[in-house]
Amino acid sequence: MDIRPATAADVPAITAIYKPEVETGFATFELEPPGEAEMARRMRAITDAGYPYVVAEIDGVVAGYAYASAYRTRPAYRYTVENSIYVAKGMQGKRVGTALMGRLISDCSERGFRLMVAVIGDSANFGSITLHRRCGFHFCGVIHSVGFKLGRWLDSVIMELPLGQGETTPPEDGQLPLPLRLGV
């Protein structure tokens, strides 16, 4: 398995991996699957703002992707990222997610970010909650029934992972680009 930075050539595969999660899953609160142009626009916005976007490639096929983006856009949040991670349906449970998350954590730590937040949909997403726990995240809390999709109320499970020196030292100002409004 090769974990590498995503490129524009990966957009069709990424769009195809995300589509069923939007249409039938509860990990994302989007209701309409975005097309390739929109996924390409989002990828550019994320990488242009200085956040990592990576894919897992197995035998030349993209098996999953992960990226970090601004947790919230007000500038005091600028050392905190939120993660997003999706593995293709047929490739789940084979440690692809673990490999992607490991790379995302190290890329974000190297860039000087101090906290990674996971906003997990939904409370029943045992795969994602287990993945985050195995990767060192701690449970923060649950926002109950914060979303409604496919006829049911959805929770957000919040988990966090300190990066680098975490909160033990002040950040080095100027090390990071200010998060941009990403529209994602």
Contact residues for ligand COA, defined by CB under 6 A: 21, 25, 27, 85-87, 92-98, 118, 120, 125-128, 130-131, 134
Q: Which of 127/136 has CB closer to ligand COA?
A: 127
Closer to ligand COA at the Cβ: 91 or 176? Answer: 91
Tell me how far, at minimum, the Cβ of 92 lies from ligand COA, in Å: 4
Strands across the sheet containing 152-162: 2-5, 53-58, 61-70, 80-87, 115-121, 152-162, 138-149
- Taking the complex as a whole, the smallest distance from the CB of residue 173 to ligand COA amounts, in Å, to 31
The rounded distance, in Å, linking the Cα atoms of 47 and 68 is 9
69 or 128: whose CB is closer to ligand COA? 128
Report the greatest alpha carbon distance in the chain: 46
Strand, coil or helix: 124: coil
| Minimum CB distance to ligand COA, residue 154 (Å) | 12
Give min distance, CB of 182 to ligand COA, in A. Answer: 17
Residue 112 or 158 having the CB closest to ligand COA: 158
DSSP category for residue 177: P
Nearer to ligand COA, 124 or 178 (CB): 124
CA distance 130 to 98: 10
Round to whole Å and give the CA distance between 181 and 69: 10
Nearest-approach distance from CB 23 to ligand COA, in angstroms: 12
